[in-house]
Chains A and B, each alone.
Chain A
């Protein structure tokens, strides 16, 4: 007993030090080191400076795709999520079909499918409709004149991403809505509110607050997945990098820079999401 106790205090102090060292965010230090090295390159190495300049031309497109596709995805997801909890079998089945198809397809395949199958198919349909309605609307009505080329590849990419993420957000919203106790709906209905009034004023305000953290994470995921639009030749950051590499064969320099640009955006975003989460946690009101 005495032996162990006499040796245990320096040992535990040592243990404490090791533990405290182990708890330091070393990953951040390593990342910062890599970042500083790259920053040094941007300032001193002309090649890096040129590449960074090329890539930043794609930043606007990347941010545009992310913002437009994500806000559309939220709307689609909210609608499909409401459909998933609906008691109407038609609405429920349509929403579930949408969610299952989206969840079962790789986003990359989905983007190709929307761009080269669904968009042309949509316009064949409108053209056929326009032809059928020619006696009413005239031969050159807008339906028959509409053309697949009217929708740019950027537009198709945004539509595809919006519907893909809409499927994920539908499940997020469904989970959020179902996490609100049955009694809330009953109390609202017992006061004479309709189903939609109860959703709008009682259930959704509580559900949205609960799903904000996962939505924040999905926003960051959308920023990353926006790089997929490069497969359609949309000139986002990734496409600018690919174009530069194709001409210069400067693989390490270009992809170092590409990774640096994405990481700085995602890390800043995740800090913002964390901050918002912490604030919500603070004044998040019980239940």
Chain B
């Protein structure tokens, strides 16, 4: 599918000159980014900087205006079958959780396994229970999303994505809609995932998480990557003035 692997096969995601316009608004203005296998890349930046749009282009929730994206060597095209196939390999966690309210936590995690992965009900349930265990709420299997706290809902959403055995996980501001006391339980799950070697792209405002979990920090502003570095260098010796201004506002 698509062209032969671009760059070296160590790279899970390769983005080349990504541009995304909404009408006349340029959300992403030519972004190139490589995410090596097993690494955690954290994208930060002020709101409206295009960081969520980059994330949503990786699994084609937004159709890029131009540019090229490879996921695990497969090039993203407009072909629907290819897109569905790639999406099944790319887990996504949303700011608003987006659990299916008419299904229990267990059923939420089982649905795509059965429909997309064609697993039988018993296998899907076994995987779903294992994933609920992994995110620390096995006792909530038969509870509907409406009866779960925000933190629990987000953990079910992470379990739902993990149950598909994705090669890479995308997190779109996963803790921004949470009450402060629930942020830690979600970040702990994400830290554990990172430690296990999951390839992750995370858009977040949680600088503590960025410092502890990231291999690379990408700072975006006005649709462009301004600076990209390891957490130590990025936080301790920011090079660009815009990065310094942003950090001085965030880290008081």
Contacts and interface: CB of A to CB of B under 8 A. Distances in A.
A285 B84 contact: no
A49 interface: no
B116 A287 contact: no
A191 B164 contact: yes
Contacts of B98: 181, 183-184, 186-187
A191 B160 contact: yes
Contact of B100 (A187, A189, A194, A209): A187
Contacts of A214: none
B59 interface: yes
A202 B61 CA distance: 17
7 contacts: A184-B100, A189-B87, A190-B61, A190-B161, A192-B84, A192-B116, A193-B115
A194 B60 CA distance: 13
A147 interface: no
A187 B85 CA distance: 15
B111 A201 contact: yes
Contacts, number: 74
B61 A206 contact: no
Nearest to B111: A201
Contacts of A285: 101-102, 144, 146
A286 B100 contact: no
A205 interface: yes
Interface string A154-190: 0000000000000000000000000001011011111
Interface in B71-114: 80, 84-85, 87-92, 94, 96, 98-102, 111-112
Contacts of B94: 183, 186-187, 190
Nearest to A198: B115
Interface string B184-204: 000000000000000000000
B102 A206 contact: yes
B145 interface: yes
A192 B145 contact: no
Contact of A191 (B88, B144, B146): B88
Return the 5 tightest CB-CB contacts between A and B, nearest first.
A286-B146, A192-B88, A287-B101, A187-B98, A191-B112
Nearest to A197: B115
B144 A202 contact: no
B102 A190 contact: no
Given A187-B92, A189-B87, A286-B147, 8 more contacts: A186-B61, A186-B94, A187-B99, A191-B88, A191-B111, A206-B101, A285-B102, A286-B146
Interface in B150-168: 157, 160-161, 164
B138 to A, nearest CB: 21
Given A191-B116, A285-B144, A183 B96 contact: yes
Nearest to B92: A190
Contact of A194 (B84, B91, B161): B84
A286 B59 CA distance: 29
Contacts of A206: 100-102
A193 B160 CA distance: 13
Contacts of B115: 193, 197, 201
Contacts of B147: 286
Interface in A265-287: 285-287
A183 B90 CA distance: 17
Contacts of B87: 189-192
Contacts of B61: 186, 189-190
B13 to A, nearest CB: 15
B154 to A, nearest CB: 12
A42 B110 CA distance: 60
Contacts of A287: 101-102, 145-146
Interface in B51-66: 59, 61
A191 B85 CA distance: 10
A209 B161 CA distance: 26
Contacts of A191: 87-88, 111-112, 116, 160-161, 164
Interface string A192-220: 11100100011001100100000000000
Contact of A192 (B96, B144, B164): B164
Contacts of A193: 84, 112, 115-116
A287 B116 CA distance: 25
Given A206-B101, A285-B102, A287-B146, A190 B59 contact: yes
B144 A286 contact: yes
B224 to A, nearest CB: 25
Contacts of B145: 286-287
Interface string A101-127: 000000000000000000000000000
A281 to B, nearest CB: 14
A206 B96 CA distance: 18
Contacts of B99: 187
A269 B146 CA distance: 32
A205 B102 contact: yes
A286 B101 contact: yes
